[in-house]
Amino acid sequence: MSRIKTFNLPDLGEGLTEGEILAWLVKVGDTIELNQPIVEVETAKAAVEIPAKWAGQVQAIHHPEGATVEVGTPIIAIDTDPGAGPLEAPSTTATPSGDLPTPSAASLAAVEVAPAEGMIEPGLIGGAAPGGRTAVLVGYGPRTTAAKRRPRKGAVPAQAEAPVTPAPVAPQPVTPEPVRNGNGGPVTGGLVLAKPPVRKLAKDLGVDLSTLTGSGPLGSITREDVQRAASGSVAAAEPVAVTSTATSAASFGADREQRIPVKGVRKLTAENMSRSAFTAPHVTEFLTVDVTRAMKALERLRGRREWRDVRVSPLLLVAKAVLLAVKRHPMVNSTWAGDEIVVKEYVNLGIAAATERGLIVPNVKDAGRLSLRELADALNGLVQTAKSGRTSPADMSGGTLTITNVGVFGVDTGTPILPPGESAILAFGAVREMPWVHKGKVKVRQVTTLGLSFDHRIIDGELGSKFLRDIGDFLADPEAALLAWT
């Protein structure tokens, strides 16, 4: 059995097909242990560290950092028995340019690699031919020499590198090229290019157009040229061509564009949002709520001894309101499965998070069974992990219902798009002080706006409205709602 094992990029879950190598955690020659992290890979969901399948010594790294590799592609070679003696010509890491060194024939022969699917048998078109050549169709082989053109009859062959010299021409007297109009025709009467309104302006201001150098198209005189001449900034035409600043600034080419590759989290988000937007019929409803009592309840909660070391935010109460509303309206927590609707008795509560790599939606597993303190700890841990870029694919799979907290950006609300497989998503807007009618008088109260998008195949208007109303009732008076519903 070969001592060299080739480690292929594994499927990190949910049908991922490729990953980008962010960083190698080992280098050629390092001794590694079983399950030791060897590489950090960014998939379409998150950045994850991949552990080694074998202990041993790193012999080769097949792809440099920044490369996008398909699942199943070899990424590293490991010598599982380095004590058996040195290998002949071990491979090294990639060069700075990204090119990898050519391994020796002995090291290649020692590596165990499963045959690729669809491999072409020797002798067939595209396969190996005798002598190490590649079998190709006649006339379609690789060109090894430069193309040659048959000389024309009577033509004198030119030297390979000699420049073509034109035949000598007798010097001709140089005559000034006549000024031409926009159609390419000569301008008669010694006139220069200028539109009638410009000519009238020059006449009114007493400016001789023949003394000016035009900055317009084809050297035409513009109103600005005439006005500058009249003000004394340009006294006469100069024999030097001047490029218009306005013309040079108005460039709309590739030098003023930025092209960002669509990959990783951004690519998955685009695919998911497009699929959801054009598959599930979305409906969005809005509700503005006085949350003054909820904000006071948070203050009292922060003051309790057992909560002083816990970060408590309005999102915690919104999450609790959603979980209680789901218990009252279970159909909201379901999935459309074609011929049936799957109603789930567990709530994997997703929290949309904006990260440097794009939008991700990790979820708190079985959030409905957690106490308020456990829910607070889970939300805080989820957010911190997302900000550090360490969210695992498992944390982002299996979501059943989502909250997006757009209020942190100062936005009142929105019309969020459903994550694929979910039937509802709630947008939580900013909490603002606003005039509000409270007990018959206009007072300044703390107010927010909720936006609920739902799949109209599953949730009709009545169910969606009741669900949103219950969330609003809890936020308006959380103590009374807890007493009434639990």
How many of the other CB atoms lie within 10 Å of CB of 425? 27
Rounded CA-CA distance 464/456 in Å is 9
Q: Which two tokens stand for residue 450?
A: 């909720």
Known catalytic membership, residue 329: no
Length reported for the chain:
486
Cα-based distances in Å from 56 to 32, 48, 53, 116, 145: 5, 22, 10, 25, 47
Q: Which two tokens stand for residue 8?
A: 């292929």
For the chain, the distance separating the N- and C-terminal CA atoms, rounded to the nearest angstrom, is 64
Residue 43: exposed, middle, or buried by beta-carbon count in 10 A (0-12, 13-18, 19+)?
Answer: buried
Rounded CA-CA distance 364/371 in Å is 13
Strand partners, 454: 283, 424
Q: Which two tokens stand for residue 140?
A: 């379609």
| 3-class SS letters over 182-211 | CCCCECHHHCCCECHHHHHHHHHHCCCHHH
Instruction: Name residues whose C-beta falls within 8 Å of residue 178's C-beta, 6 or more positions apart in sequence.
Output: 186, 187
Q: Which two tokens stand for residue 419?
A: 């994550």
- Strands, DSSP E only, in 74-159? 74-79, 111-112
Q: Which two tokens stand for residue 256?
A: 């003023």
State whether residue 248 is helix, strand or coil.
Answer: helix
Q: Which of 282, 329, 438, 456 is catalytic?
A: 456
CB 85 within 8 A of CB 58: no
Catalytic residues: 456
